[in-house]
Every structure is written in structure tokens, then in C-alpha cells.
């Protein structure tokens, strides 16, 4: 089943917060994730830079770490920076997600692609999911449990459902990426391209990226 981009929030079996992201794409598969200083960016692979002129939504920061390493923001688009900056300025996850989702709205492409967002906050031990579609907006705090993750996608599964959860066997940011690409429920989600994970550690978040290998 093709569900497009995916964000998830969860906890490892030993209680470490994790937010993750997977790019799934039929139109623009030639992309990778690149780790920077406290952020991860989705960019076209070498030789495909001109794709950005075909669709301005395909390159963006998908992860930002803010609030002195206490918060990870993970999304499928340009809203990452706005949510992160609002939270860095003292706004709560709930308010930052509502304000940004409302003001930026869904992507105005051929598919009215929803903006999906996730936040995990070490200070409150909380995880949040948000989606703005052409027909609605949802922001929910997820009641996280050790060893499980909850996900949200741009298509088909583009509504927040507390009952949509799956076992989360990851023990590192790297294994969280592998899981997002082909583990558990995600093995049934087609057209994987690349995955990103932010896993809480004693100081901040560990970041990892992994491209799908057929």
C-alpha cells in the first residue's frame, strides 16, 4: 500500500523517545537525507538537482533539534523550521503545531498533500502528532508506551488514530531508520526512498539517516 511520506513517534523498549521520518515517493525517488548541525535535510541526489524546479516541496529540513537538545521536530516539509523556531522561543508543542499547521496549511501541489508533523519532548516525556489536510486539521498528544510507535502518513493513513500503533524494536537511531524502511507495519508500505530518526540520548538526540537499498 502506498501511503506517501510517514512520520512516527514512539519509545524504545527501555523508554527512550524517538521521532522518525520516511520519504516514500513515486514521482521523486532520487533523494537522500543529509545530517547537518542539529538538523537533517531532504535533498535531491547528485544529478537530479533540477527536480527542485519541477516541485518546490521536495527539498526541506525534515528534522530540527531545539531547546538545548530537549526537543526533536520531524515533518514532511517546510513547517519543520517554523515549529522548531516557535518551540525554541518558548511555545508549547501543542501551540506550535496548531499555529504552524493552521498558518501554512496543506501543500498546494497536484495532490493537496497534507503536512504531517511530529514532536518529541524530553522535558515532559511526551510525543505529539499533527496533520493538516484540505478537509481538516488534527493535533494530538500520543500516550506513548515503551516498545511501541504511532505513525501518520500523507495519504490513506492521514488522520491521527491512537489505535494505529505497532511494536517498535529499535535500540538505536540507525535501527530505527531500518525499521521505518522495511520493518513491522512499514514493510507493507511501498516505494521507500530514505529514512531519518532522532533517538533521545543522555545529551540531546542521536541522528541517523539511511537510504533504501532494493
SS3 letters across 82-97: HHHHHHHCCCCHHHHH
The answer to whether the CB of 195 falls within 8 A of the CB of 177 is yes
105 exposure class (CB count in 10 Å sphere: 0-12, 13-18, 19+) = middle
Question: Strand ranges (DSSP E) for 50-204?
Answer: 60-66, 71-75, 115-121, 126-133, 136-142, 148-153, 165-167, 192-200
Domain of residue 32: give its range.
6-211
Q: Domains in the chain: how many in total?
A: 1
CA of residue 181 relative to chain centroid, distance: 13
Q: Is 178 helix (H, G, I), strand (E, B) or coil?
A: helix
Q: What is the CATH number of the domain that holds 114?
A: 3.60.20.20
Q: Is residue 23 assigned to a domain?
A: yes
CA of residue 99 relative to chain centroid, distance: 18
User: What pTM did the predictor assign?
Assistant: 0.96
Q: Is residue 1 assigned to a domain?
A: no
- pLDDT, one tens digit per residue, over 15-55 is 999 999 999 999 888 899 999 999 999 999 999 999 999 99
Q: Which residue has the cell 512520520?
A: 7
Q: Is residue 185 assigned to a domain?
A: yes
Higher local confidence (pLDDT), 27 or 68: 68
- pLDDT, one tens digit per residue, over 94-122 is 999 999 999 999 999 888 999 999 999 99
Please report the pLDDT score of residue 110 as a whole number: 86
Give the pLDDT band of residue 213 (cuts 50, 70, 90). confident
Q: Is residue 64 assigned to a domain?
A: yes
Amino acid at each position: 500500500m502506498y501511503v506517501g511520506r510517514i512520520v512516527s513517534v514512539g519509545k524504545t523498549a527501555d523508554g527512550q523517545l524517538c521521532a522518525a521520518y520516511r520519504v516514500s515517493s513515486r514521482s521523486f525517488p532520487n533523494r537522500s537525507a543529509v545530517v547537518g548541525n542539529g538538523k537533517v535535510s531532504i535533498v535531491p541526489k547528485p544529478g537530479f538537482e533540477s527536480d527542485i524546479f519541477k516541485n518546490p516541496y521536495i527539498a526541506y529540513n525534515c528534522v530540527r533539534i531545539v531547546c538545548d537538545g530537549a526537543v526533536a521536530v520531524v515533518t514532511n516539509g517546510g513547517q519543520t523550521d517554523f515549529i522548531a523556531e516557535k518551540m525554541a522561543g518558548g511555545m508549547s508543542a501543542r501551540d506550535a503545531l496548531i499555529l504552524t499547521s493552521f498558518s501554512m496549511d496543506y501543500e498546494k501541489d497536484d495532490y493537496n498533500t497534507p503536512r504531517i508533523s511530529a514532536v518529541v519532548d524530553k522535558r515532559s516525556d511526551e510525543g505529539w502528532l499533527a496533520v493538516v489536510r484540505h478537509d481538516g486539521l488534527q493535533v494530538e498528544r500520543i500516550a506513548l508506551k515503551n516498545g511501541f510507535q504511532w505513525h501518520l502518513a500523507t495519504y490513506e493513513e492521514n488522520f491521527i488514530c491512537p489505535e494505529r500503533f505497532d511494536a517498535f524494536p529499535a535500540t538505536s537511531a540507525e535501527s530505527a531508520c531500518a525499521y521505518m524502511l522495511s520493518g513491522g507495519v512499514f514493510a507493507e508500505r511501498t516505494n521507500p526512498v530514505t529514512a531519518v530518526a532522532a533517538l533521545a540520548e543522555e545529551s540531546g538526540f542521536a541522528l541517523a539517516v539511511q537510504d533504501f537499498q532494493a
